[in-house]
Amino acid sequence: MSKGSGKQGGGASLQPPRGTRDFYPEDMRRRSWLFERFREIALRFGFEEVDAPMVEHAELFTRKAGEEIVEQLYHFELHDRHLALRPEFTPSLARLVIARQGALRFPIRWFAIAQNWRYERMTRGRRREHYQWNMDVWGEPGVEAEAELLGAMFAALDGLGLARGQVKVRLNSRGLLEESLRGGVLADRPEVFAPLCVVIDKIDKIGAEAVTDLLCSADGEVRLTSGEAERVIEMLGARSLDEAARFTTPGSQALADLRTLYDLLDAYGIADQVPFDASVVRGLAYYTGVVFEAFDAQGSLRAIAGGGRYDRLAETLGGRPVPAVGFGFGDAVIGELLADEGLWPELGREIQDVVHAFGPEEKTAAIRVATRLREQGRRVELTLGQSKLKRVLGDADKAGAERVFLIGEDERRRGVVTVRDLARQTEHEESLDGGSR
Ligand code: HAM
């Protein structure tokens, strides 16, 4: 897929494929720290963790609505099977739910931390592989589910050290659009709603005129009248529920749901962090109702998280209807924001004890001491080979160790170990089995 052979000087390229990352120990420490925060919040909200294979049947992802995500699929044929690396977790999640639909007790709250693959054009925070924390509720049609999910998202942002106001979630409902077109184009051709939303989502990239052209094109799938298209574009400008109300039909269910949602968000203390913005439509075809996207307040990065309600995905994939809503929260964009804000914590190796034998004769005693300490639950580095004491002490200090256990010939003869406390700069002796002397 990339230009060139990917080879250098006859050997395999030592670069990871463009847009993918290697995780060295210091990178893994950050990744684990982030994922622990995600996991902790999910558990605090009563969600259960699930996972699924990264490789799925390609048809699980190939939808016909013209979405970017389908064009970006990493896919391949193997033994007559058409397979793909997942570009997102939601279709896999739907597969899991459908397979046990009769047995599950709805509503269910499931979360996952999954790696996804998309052949993207890269910009800051946009990669060809990324991890996503997914939180989804299946079986609850009411906006209580949306509110709970947004509550969890803000709890996670708090847990990452971001102050209120540093991230805003822009929220809309596709239901408003759907209702306004129900008497028109959707009456005869309800199937055009998904491609219509996918086209509208391109407005920031290609502009209102180009979107109007696509929506009205006689060769296109949607084929709105110019009056309908104009109304749609105008509606996208609404920035409050009262403004949106000007475009809705009397008794609008979508508007009533949004009002209820904002009352609930108020109870979570986050209503002011979630501005209504009718231009948020999202680029995935399956959303049916409320949609939302989280952005840094400066607007300098791409979306940190995005989600919404997708009440018809189960049916689309061959299951029985079941309402669903959720979000995906990427690791890459939040990583950039934490770096910009200086919020990544110092994460050391967290070694607690270092055990060092001065010579080969003391190795077995050192192993016994290390084993005893490890059995106590301590994180222990046993020095390997022959290192100089100065280097051992320097490395122990760098690794954040609290104590260094030293065994030389004299200690071995007397059956003791010298314990140096690095913080207090004190030393004492212990017997090899840990008894005090
Ligand atoms: P999405 O908006 O495509 O939604 O992705 C969600 C988040 O994943 C984005 O806001 C972004 O942080 C991150 N992300 C997506 N693509 C990339 C990329 N190429 N590089 C880095 N980060 C990326 C979904 O995927 C939906 N399945 C989310 C969802 C779950 N909706 C309901 N449940």
Q: What is the largest CA-CA distance in the chain?
A: 95
Instruction: Specify whether 402 is located in the same domain as 311.
Output: no
Q: CA-CA distance, 94 to 117, in Å (whole number)?
A: 18
User: Cβ atoms within 10 A of the Cβ of 188, count?
Assistant: 8
Residue among 77, 75, 79 at smallest CA distance from 61:
75
- Mutation test of ligand 1: which of 88, 90, 92, 115 has the most ligand atoms closer than 8 Å to its C-beta? 88
Q: Are 299 and 187 in the same domain?
A: yes
Does residue 345 lie in a domain region?
no
Nearest CA to ligand 1 atom 16: 126
Query: What's the CA-to-centroid distance between 290 and ligand 1, angstroms?
Result: 16
Q: Is the per-residue pLDDT at 249 higher than 80?
A: yes
Which domain-ending residue is among 299, 315, 340?
340
Measured in Å, residue 138 CA sits from the centre of ligand 1 at: 19
Instruction: Locate the ligand 1 atom nearest the alpha carbon of residue 127 and give its number.
Output: 20
132 shares a domain with 232: yes
Q: State the pairing for strand pair 353-357/380-382.
A: parallel
> Phi and psi (nearest 5°) for 416?
-130, 170
> Which range of residues forms the domain containing residue 365?
353-431
Summary count for the chain: helices (H), strands (E): 17, 17
Same domain, 327 and 399: no
**Three-class SS of residue 293?**
strand
With respect to residue 348, please indicate whether it lies within any of the assigned structural domains. Answer: no
Of 310, 340, 370, the last residue of a domain is 340
Q: Is the pLDDT of residue 7 over 70?
A: no
pLDDT in tens, 202-220: 998 999 999 999 999 999 9
Q: How many domains does the chain have?
A: 2
Q: Which atom of ligand 1 is nearest to the CA of 120?
A: 19
Per-residue pLDDT reduced to its tens digit, 314-373: 999 999 999 999 999 999 999 999 999 999 999 999 999 999 999 999 999 999 999 999
Same domain, 380 and 308: no
Asked if residue 346 is part of any domain, the answer here is no
- 394 and 297 within one domain: no
Based on the fold, state whether residues 201 and 248 are members of the same structural domain.
Answer: yes
Calculate how far, in angstroms, residue 16's C-alpha sits from the geometric centre of ligand 1.
Answer: 22
Residue 376 within any structural domain of the chain: yes
Which residues neighbour 320 within 8 Å (Cβ) at sequence distance 6 or greater? Answer: 98, 101, 314
- The closest residue, in CA terms, to atom 15 on ligand 1 is 330
Residue 202 near residue 173 (C-beta atoms within 8 A): no
By alpha-carbon position, which residue is closest to atom 8 of ligand 1? 330
What is the mean predicted confidence (pLDDT) over 16-44? 97
Confidence of residue 437 (pLDDT cuts 50, 70, 90): low
State the CB neighbour count (10 A cutoff) for residue 200: 24
Query: Do 296 and 403 belong to one domain?
Result: no
Reported as a pLDDT band with limits 50, 70 and 90, residue 12 is confident
- Tell whether 333 and 370 lie within a shared domain: no
Same domain for 93 and 205 = yes
3 in a structural domain:
no
Return the CATH number at 287.
3.30.930.10
Instruction: Supply the pLDDT for residue 63.
Output: 87
Dist. CA 303 → ligand 1 center (Å): 8
* Separation of alpha carbons 437 and 435, rounded Å: 7
Pocket of ligand 1 (CB under 6 A): 88, 90, 118, 120, 125-127, 130, 132, 134, 136, 284, 303-308, 326-328, 330, 332-333
Q: For residue range 164-188, what is the model confidence (pLDDT) as tens digits?
A: 999 999 999 999 999 999 988 999 9
In a domain, 4, yes or no: no
CA 425 – ligand 1 centroid, Å: 50
Q: What pLDDT score was predicted for residue 298?
A: 93
Alpha helices, H only, 160-225: 174-182, 185-188, 193-200, 203-206, 208-216
Take residue 157 and report the two structure tokens written for it.
């942002």
Helix-strand-coil split of the chain, %, nearest 5: 40, 20, 40
Percentage of residues of the chain with pLDDT beyond 70:
97
295: which strand partners? Answer: 168
Residue nearest to atom 18 of ligand 1 (CA): 126
CB 427 within 8 A of CB 409: no
Give the pLDDT confidence score for residue 10 in this predicted structure. Answer: 62
Report the CATH number that the domain containing residue 357 is assigned in CATH.
3.40.50.800
User: With 80 as the cut, is the pLDDT of residue 153 above it?
Assistant: yes
| Domain end marker among 314, 340, 366 | 340
Q: Is residue 2 part of a domain?
A: no
Residue with the larger pLDDT of the pair 12 and 147: 147
Choose which residue among 93, 130, 293, 331 to substitute to test ligand 1 binding: the one with the highest number of ligand atoms within 8 A of its C-beta: 130
* Confidence band for 11, pLDDT divided at 50, 70 and 90: confident
What pLDDT, on a 0 to 100 scale, did the predictor assign at position 3? 44
Pairing assessment for the beta strands 167-173 and 108-117 based on DSSP bridges: unpaired
pLDDT of residue 4: 44
Q: Does residue 86 fall inside a structural domain?
A: yes
Same domain, 302 and 391: no
Kindly state whether residues 258 and 404 are assigned to the same domain.
no
